[in-house]
Every structure is written in structure tokens, then in C-alpha cells.
Amino acid sequence: MRHLRIVPDDTNFDFMRFRRISFPFSAAMSVLALLAFFFVGLNYGIDFLGGTLIEVQSKAGPADLAKMRSTLNALELGDVQLQEFGSPRDVMIRIPQQPGGEEAQQAAVAKVRGALGDTVDYRRVEVVGPRVSQELLISGTIGMMLAVFGILLYLWFRFEWQFALGAMIANVHDLVLTVGFMSLLQIDFDLTSVAALLTILGYSVNDTVVIFDRIREMLRRYKKLPIDQLINIAINSTLSRSIITHVTVTLALLSLLIFGGPTLYSFSATMTFGAVLVGSYTSIFIASPILIYLGVGRNREKGGVEDEADEATADDKKGGAPLPLVKGGRGA
């Protein structure tokens, strides 16, 4: 029985050669993302700003957004937003927070129902007060900080401090770029988006730990192999697994992005960018090469496989395939 080979066993692509490009590129993109966050800002959803969300479906064919917008603006409820989603008959109505507490929000919903009458079916009505929205925002921020700190502690315990610091820098890099992406495209930032960011952290760490574990194993076996060459071999040996994982996740996220509707749009769009695109790039071109500058393997003890011929032919204990040897590697 033949096994599907995504990447040939003798692949020896020199990923570390691009570290002098990837670090300046990532630094520039991070600065742009921060500028977008501070000057454009996030499009906070009702979860964090408070307000009312109403989903309706037109009974008589496609919804006339212009007519509905004119009707609702006459109610003087503030900046009422209308958005078509799903089929042409489905409309999402967003009403900003009304002064006067919960009673004012319910009164606004009653006004909308009275203005639209029986021309639409009401699918969902969601009201979030200002106090609840503020608590959700604080809780979401604390949750993100605790997640990053917990990942740092776990990797410090599981590996060495260089691995933990490298993974934390990579995670912060992923979060910064993803938040900048959401600012530029004005994707709704709500509790679903927070869930997406936490999922990106877990996904990125999982991908990074697979490579880190391979690097640590090789550090114990090969004592004289240059660190950049050793990291290249580790990445190449896990490349097939990474590609299969990313393709599978991408197919699932594209399905959610296309068919999931507005409720899942912020989650699927954020995950597609942050996990599949940025996360894949970060694991290889940021988290792994940063170990070189943090001094991983600099004080390796003598022993292990030292002869180059042995290094090229030593069997991989996990996969059974010979380790590829990248020629021409230079230390940092």
C-alpha cells in the first residue's frame, strides 16, 4: 500500500536563509497593524458597545434596503445600520445604545416593529446593555492576557526559556497582525472575535510546538551541526504534517466563510487570516529562527552524532526516514 507523500523525504529547503528578510518584514507589518488599531480603530460590535441587533426577513421578495433605511432613520434612533446577509430577503438591523437603560432599548425595538409592521418576519432580537458590554470587554481582555501568560509558563516548563520566549513573541506577533487586519477591514469585533483570537493562539502554539519538539530532539542528537542547519532539517522533516494540517483547516474555514452567514463571518475571516496565513508563516519564519538569536544550542555538550556522513544517514527515530542534510548552512 502506497502512502501519500505531500513532501519528498529528501526535501532540504533553506528556510533560515530568509530570516534576515522575515524579521524586518514582520516588524514593518506589526507597525502598520498598530497604526491601523490606533488611528482606524476596531469596529466594536454590540457585545462591547451595547445596543440592539434585529434580524428580519422580508415576506415579499428581496428586501428594499433603501426604503427600510429611510423608514428607520425617521424614528431618530441614532445611526441605524442595515446589512443584507444570506439571501436577498434577510436583513440585519443594528441600533446603537439608547439613553435610558433597558426600557429605552425595548422601546426602540417596539418602534422598529411598529415602523416595519408585518412586512417582515423577526428572526432574532438581541439587546445588550452598557454595563454588560463593559464587563464583557474587560473579561475578554483579561482572558487574552491570561492565555498568553499561560502559554509562556507551559513552554518554559516543557522546553527551555528560549523556546518559551520565542513562542510568546510569535503569539504576540500573530495577535497584532490579526487585530490590524480586523481594523483595516472593519470586521465586527465581538465575543466571537475574541474566541477566534484565542483559537489562533492555541493553533499557532500547536504548530510551533511540533517544530520546537523536533528541534529539541535534534539538539540532543547532533552536537556539532550548525544551529541554522539543524533548524532547517527540523522544519523540513515536519513540513508534510504542517501542510496537511493547514490544508484541512483552510477547507473547513472557507466553508464557514462562504456558507456560515454573518453570525460566523467575524470568526471565520479572523481565523482564516490569523491562523492559516499568519500562523503558518510565523511558525517557520519567526518562532523558529528567533531561537538562533536567543542562543539555543550554543553550549551543547560533546557527544552524539558528530560525523557528517553519520548525520546524513542517521535514521529518524520517529518517521523512519533519513534526515536531509542542508548544505552550506552558516551560523548567525
Q: What is the pLDDT of residue 242?
A: 80
How much is the average pLDDT of 144-155?
A: 80
Please give the DSSP secondary-structure letter assigned to residue 305: B
Question: pLDDT for 228-260, tens place per residue?
Answer: 888 888 888 888 888 888 888 889 888 888 887
Q: What is the pLDDT of residue 3?
A: 56
Amino acid at 300: R
Amino acid at 195: A
Range scoring the smallest mean pLDDT among 51-55, 219-223, 262-266? 262-266
Beta-strand runs (E) in the chain = 43-44, 51-58, 81-84, 90-96, 120-128, 188-189
Helix crossing, 227-237 with 239-259: angle to 10°? Answer: 50
Query: Which set of grid coordinates corresponds to residue 253?
Result: 474555514
How far apart are the C-alpha atoms of 192 and 43, rounded to whole Å? Answer: 13
β-partners of residue 222 are 305
Question: pLDDT for 187-213, tens place per residue?
Answer: 888 878 888 888 888 888 888 888 888
What residue has cell string 507523500? 5
Is the confidence at residue 306, as pLDDT, over 80?
Answer: no
297 or 69: whose pLDDT is higher?
69
Count of alpha carbons within 13 Å of 218, Cβ hemisphere only?
A: 30
Amino acid at 183: S
How far apart are the C-alpha atoms of 16 and 326, rounded to whole Å? Answer: 11
Question: pLDDT for 54-102, tens place per residue?
Answer: 888 888 888 888 888 888 888 888 778 787 777 788 888 888 877 777 7
How much is the average pLDDT of 105-125?
A: 84
How far apart are the C-alpha atoms of 239 and 232, rounded to whole Å? Answer: 10
Is the confidence at residue 319, as pLDDT, over 60?
Answer: no
Query: Which set of grid coordinates corresponds to residue 131?
Result: 454595563
Query: Which set of grid coordinates corresponds to residue 276?
Result: 492559516
> Which of 15-24, 102-111, 132-141 ranks highest by mean pLDDT?
15-24
If we measure between CA atoms, which residue out of 103, 104, 13, 120 comes closest to residue 63?
120
Non-local (6+) Cβ contacts of 187 within 8 A are 43, 181, 193, 265, 266, 269, 270
Question: pLDDT for 158-182, tens place per residue?
Answer: 777 888 888 888 888 999 999 999 9
If we measure between CA atoms, which residue out of 195, 180, 165 comes closest to residue 291?
165
CA angle 189–195–197, rounded 5-degree value: 75
Q: What is the pLDDT of residue 332?
A: 37
Q: What is the pLDDT of residue 89?
A: 83
Residue 249 CA, chain-centre distance (Å), reads 12
Concatenating the DSSP letter of every residue in 107-130 gives HHHHHHHHHHGGGEEEEEEEEE-H
Q: What is the pLDDT of residue 168?
A: 86
Query: Which set of grid coordinates corresponds to residue 311?
Result: 548525520
Quick count: other Cβ atoms within 10 Å of Cβ 211?
A: 22
How far apart are the C-alpha atoms of 73 and 81, rounded to whole Å? Answer: 9
Coil, strand or helix at 88: coil
Domains defined for the chain, CATH in brackets: 15-43+133-313 (1.20.1640.10), 51-128 (3.30.70.3400)
Over pLDDT 70: what percentage of the chain?
Answer: 82
Supply the mean pLDDT for the chain.
Answer: 79
Q: What is the pLDDT of residue 32?
A: 95
128 neighbors 46 (Cβ within 8 angstroms): yes
Q: What is the pLDDT of residue 329?
A: 40
Give the phi and the psi of residue 205 in degrees, each rounded to 5. Answer: -65, -40
Q: What is the pLDDT of residue 131?
A: 62
Q: What is the pLDDT of residue 325?
A: 45
Question: pLDDT for 276-289, tens place per residue?
Answer: 889 888 988 888 88
